[in-house]
């Protein structure tokens, strides 16, 4: 069940109009699991609410069928792969953000070590380099 977020939501008649399909087509796509409209309420008889994303998905389904001659089983496979790719892209973006944050933290830590070493060049010993304040430096040998 999709989460209701901000943005436009349409009842089935308006969504069907926007996607240029019959309401029964939307119901059929829902039964097949190709689209998952939100429901206003907990009951299965609550009105379906379609987002702009749902409508775009219906337009994509129609394009696959009409322009490329893909049947509904093929559409289902294509959409499943597309959804998985989007999920993987989201995961990769989150991982990239985490790595960038880790890199920024490491760069700050190394700059602090360099500044500390530049302020007191005569007091550099292996103990000060590996002190808890300095953090551990990679072994360059």
Q: What average pLDDT does the chain have? A: 87
22 pLDDT above the threshold of 90: yes
Q: Strand order of the sheet with strand 9-10?
A: 9-10, 48-51, 38-39
pTM of the model: 0.65
**Confidence at residue 120, expressed as pLDDT on a 0 to 100 scale:** 79
- Number of helices (H), then strands (E), in the chain: 5, 3
> How sure is the predictor about 42, in pLDDT bands with cuts at 50, 70 and 90?
confident
Neighbour count for residue 52 (Cβ, 10 Å): 13
| Non-local CB neighbours of 27 within 8 Å, separated by 6+ positions | 12
| Non-local CB neighbours of 123 within 8 Å, separated by 6+ positions | none
């Amino acid at each position: 069940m999709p989460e209701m977020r901000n943005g436009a939501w349409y009842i089935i008649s308006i969504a069907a109009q926007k996607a240029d399909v019959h309401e029964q087509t939307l119901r059929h796509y829902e039964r097949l699991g190709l689209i998952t409209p939100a429901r206003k309420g907990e009951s299965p008889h609550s009105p379906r609410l379609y987002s702009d994303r749902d409508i775009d998905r219906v337009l994509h389904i129609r394009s696959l069928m009409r322009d490329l001659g893909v049947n509904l089983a093929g559409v289902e496979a294509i959409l499943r792969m597309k959804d998985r790719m989007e999920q993987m892209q989201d995961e990769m973006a989150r991982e990239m953000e985490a790595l960038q944050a880790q890199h920024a933290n490491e760069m700050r830590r190394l700059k602090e070590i360099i500044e500390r070493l530049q302020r007191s060049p005569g007091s550099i010993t292996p103990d000060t380099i590996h002190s808890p304040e300095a953090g551990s430096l990679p072994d360059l040998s």
